């Protein structure tokens, strides 16, 4: 139960905050200036020069930032008078942001949240979305020259000051921002030398009436600290978006979702249909942006997830043709999550890749001769109690 509560807390935190803070009039669903929490960054609105600035020298394609996160969803239930009781769940995990593309003053990124399994300890993916930010102030950075020029101030919704910040025994000169507006509170601490976000907090509260005439104050909060900054190995980094990936086009996948109990091998898995639709809303030279929707047998219209895919990405919707000549080998090993990306098979006719933590998560993707993904399999386990597998095939 503790493991399931942790997964729910981390997944529930990011998606609602992402959608709450998202403008509805942008070119694509991924075109939003976000923070590691999924909230929109208020700095690019308050200081528009940040959105027009060049990216810092440290910001390059393939760079990955890993943040430790402690997240919670506490509820305070009040009667007509005094507070009656408090309840809620908390959990810890990791959030990773990859820089997938830098093009024409924009930075395309991919954010993945991980939660550890309470029994096996394996880090499993629980939430994935894409963003397209201004290159001068992205998900986990801002141009340091412009940060240094921002004056200290204290106002009703924004406080700015400077000082020292200790992270893992190293002291940094930093600038701090604290923003409050309509139930949303954000804190950002940036290193003044590099512009990297070292510490981030996000809180959102709402009040809902109860049937008894009281009030529930529902909160979502997260505390994030930078854990690691490293360059992901991308064995290909040339080329352009393939010709089939045009704005307004879609990819359709159909398959099955299987659920089983490993401790009861004689019990047949429960199998249900599943389908995925990927809508490409904008295509660029190095990346595409749009949305992804997953349909199950439930009749409810599924929520969309903002999506980005690029040349400088592992396990994306395509690979460049140059990848077909690569031999089977391990491409990248992530020291924070234990995820290992490998090429399993390669030939002029296609490529098969795998991402796994060798504990409780495995993702296999098959690409055709044009580099387009045509089949995926995702298998995961919750301790030793349950197993799940999603198998999808591209439908022409």
Only one residue has tokens 């004056």, namely 151
For residue range 58-108, list pLDDT tens digits in order.
Answer: 999 999 999 999 887 655 445 544 444 444 556 789 999 999 999 999 999
Rounded-to-integer distance, Cα 134 and Cα 122, Å: 34
What own/partner pairs with CB < 8 Å and gap ≥ 24 does 160-163 have?
162/192
- DSSP secondary structure letters along 241-283: --TT--TT-EEEEEEEEEEE-TT-TTSPPEEEEEEEEEEEEEE
Rounded-to-integer distance, Cα 125 and Cα 96, Å: 10
Given a cut of 70, whether residue 211 has pLDDT beyond it is no
Q: What is the pLDDT at residue 12?
A: 38
Q: 165 falls in which pLDDT band (50, 70, 90)?
A: very high
Only one residue has tokens 């924070």, namely 336
Rounded-to-integer distance, Cα 338 and Cα 253, Å: 28
Find out whether 204 and 219 touch, Cβ atoms under 8 Å: yes
DSSP class of residue 17 equals: H
Mean pLDDT of 162-168: 96
Tokens of residue 236, six digits:
């290909």
What does pTM read for this prediction? Answer: 0.87
Average pLDDT across the chain, whole number? 86
Rounded-to-integer distance, Cα 312 and Cα 305, Å: 20
Given a cut of 50, whether residue 13 has pLDDT beyond it is no
Question: Which residues share a beta bridge with 159?
Answer: 154, 178
Find out whether 261 and 384 touch, Cβ atoms under 8 Å: no
Q: What is the largest CA-CA distance in the chain?
A: 72
Q: What is the pLDDT at residue 90?
A: 62
- Could you tell me whether strands 106-116 and 215-231 are parallel, antiparallel, or unpaired per DSSP bridges? unpaired
Q: What is the pLDDT at residue 69?
A: 93
Run of H or E residues at 344: strand 340-347
Rounded-to-integer distance, Cα 199 and Cα 191, Å: 9
């Amino acid at each position: 139960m503790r493991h399931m509560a942790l997964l729910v807390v981390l997944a529930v935190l990011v998606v609602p905050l992402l959608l709450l803070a998202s403008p509805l009039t942008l070119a694509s669903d991924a075109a939003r200036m976000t923070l590691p929490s999924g909230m929109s960054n208020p700095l690019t609105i308050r200081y528009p020069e940040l959105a027009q600035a060049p990216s810092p020298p440290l910001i390059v394609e393939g760079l990955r930032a890993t943040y430790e996160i402690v997240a919670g969803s506490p509820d305070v239930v009040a009667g007509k008078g005094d507070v009656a009781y408090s309840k809620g769940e908390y959990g810890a995990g990791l959030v990773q942001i990859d820089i997938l593309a830098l093009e024409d003053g924009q930075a395309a990124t991919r954010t993945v949240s991980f939660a550890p399994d309470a029994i096996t300890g394996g880090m499993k993916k629980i939430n994935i979305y894409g963003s397209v930010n201004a290159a001068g102030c992205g998900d986990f950075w801002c141009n340091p020259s412009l940060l240094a020029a921002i004056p200290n101030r204290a106002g009703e919704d924004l406080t700015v000051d400077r000082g020292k910040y200790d992270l893992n025994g190293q002291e940094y000169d930093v600038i701090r921002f604290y923003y409050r507006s309509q139930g949303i509170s954000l804190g950002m601490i940036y290193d003044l030398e590099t512009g990297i976000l070292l510490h981030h907090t996000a809180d959102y509260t709402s009040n809902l009436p109860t049937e008894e005439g009281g009030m529930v104050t529902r909160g979502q909060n997260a505390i994030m600290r930078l854990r690691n900054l490293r360059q992901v190995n991308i064995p290909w980094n040339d080329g352009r978006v393939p010709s089939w990936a045009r704005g307004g086009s879609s990819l359709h996948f159909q398959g099955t979702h299987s659920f089983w109990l490993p401790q009861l091998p004689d019990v047949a898995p429960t199998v249900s249909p599943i389908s995925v639709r990927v809508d490409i809303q904008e295509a660029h030279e190095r990346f595409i942006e749009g949305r992804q929707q997953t349909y199950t047998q439930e009749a409810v219209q599924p929520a969309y997830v903002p999506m980005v895919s690029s040349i400088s990405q592992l396990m994306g919707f395509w690979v460049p043709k140059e990848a077909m000549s690569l031999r089977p080998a391990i491409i990248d090993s992530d020291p924070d999550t234990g995820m290992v990306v490998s090429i399993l098979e390669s030939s002029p006719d296609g490529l098969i890749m795998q991402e796994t933590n060798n504990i409780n998560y495995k993702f296999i993707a098959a690409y055709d001769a044009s580099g387009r993904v045509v089949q995926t399999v995702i298998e995961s386990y919750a301790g030793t109690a349950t197993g799940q597998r999603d198998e999808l095939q591209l439908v022409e």
